[in-house]
Amino acid sequence: MTKTLKHLNAIVFDWAGTTVDHGSCAPAIVFQEIFRQRGVKVTAAQAREPMGMAKRAHIATVVAMPSVAKSWEEKYGSPCSDADIDAMYADFLPLQKKTLKDHSQLIPGVAEAIQECRALGLKIGSSTGYTHELMESVTAAAKEQGYEPDCLVCSEDAPAGRPAPYLLYEVSKQLEVYPLWSMIKVDDTPVGIEAGRNAGCWTVAITRTGNCVGLSEQEVEAISPAELQEKCQAAEERFHAAGAHIIIESVADIVEVVHEIEARMERGEMPV
């Protein structure tokens, strides 16, 4: 395949909310459920707040939220311990694996957009806060729908998850692509964008299909355009705060962004 871009070499996509599972619904459902099973109420917003982290770290972050910590101590008479977090994480994995079977649908336009990225000569990387075991059914379903990245890096492949840059360092190694400013990181969570910035990549944030809006495709169709716009604008504010270079609604729009970043690099701009 002839490479048509002078500066960019690879693009790295997140999974839930970015390429599959419109609204990143699967993990949010399970995070709420593992707390519900323990008699502690966690709202959807609280469950989604740390999205993008490795899943045990995500649970620990939710537990540390003041209202959740208070509810836990009222229920059990003592703060949530590391052993409690380990137990919730152990429950999370099989429940998440079961839930993913129904949340592995490609987001509309993703397969076609990524094919166009390949046609430009870009290598296609992927990273996730899921484990390799959890991703088995997701990658198989994505392949059947026309999406198979060149590499998959999961939570256990790095010493720390997002916002640390290590997952992207591992993607860089597996794709044999450097420097990291020749890579674009595409993510639907602020910590994913922060990880891209920390690694020195260009960063592209996803609003409408992702976790910050948090709506399935059916839910998006059911609300008014004004309400959807309000939710997308709120997501944009979070991504601006995280340092996203470019913000779009869906990966379906990524090819135009690739050309925009390439043009900016041709003018001498860097992802600082």
Annotation marks residue 143 as catalytic = no
In sequence order, what are the residues at sequence separation of 6 or more whose Cβ sits closer than 8 angstroms to the Cβ of residue 155?
54, 55, 128, 129, 130, 131, 161, 167
User: Given 14, 21, 157, 188, which residue is catalytic?
Assistant: 14
Annotation marks residue 55 as catalytic = yes
The tokens for 114 are: 């990524």
Nearest 5°: CA angle at 136, between 134 and 137? 90
User: Given 21, 55, 97, 157, which residue is catalytic?
Assistant: 55
Say if residues 207 and 220 touch (Cβ distance below 8 Å).
no
> What is the rounded distance in angstroms from the CA atom of residue 11 to the CA atom of residue 261?
12
Strand order in the sheet with 183-187: 123-126, 10-13, 183-187, 202-206, 246-248
CA dihedral sign of residues 206, 211, 216, 220: negative
The tokens for 158 are: 């790095």
The beta-strand segments (E) located in the chain are: 10-13, 123-126, 183-187, 202-206, 246-248
Peptide bond into 179 cis (omega under 30): yes
Say if residues 25 and 54 touch (Cβ distance below 8 Å).
no
Q: For 201, list phi and psi in degrees, rounded to 5.
A: -90, 165
> What is the rounded distance in angstroms from the CA atom of residue 261 to the CA atom of residue 7?
9
**39 burial level (CB within 10 Å; 0-12, 13-18, 19+):** exposed
Q: For 190, list phi and psi in degrees, rounded to 5.
A: -60, -40
Enzyme catalytic residues: 14, 55
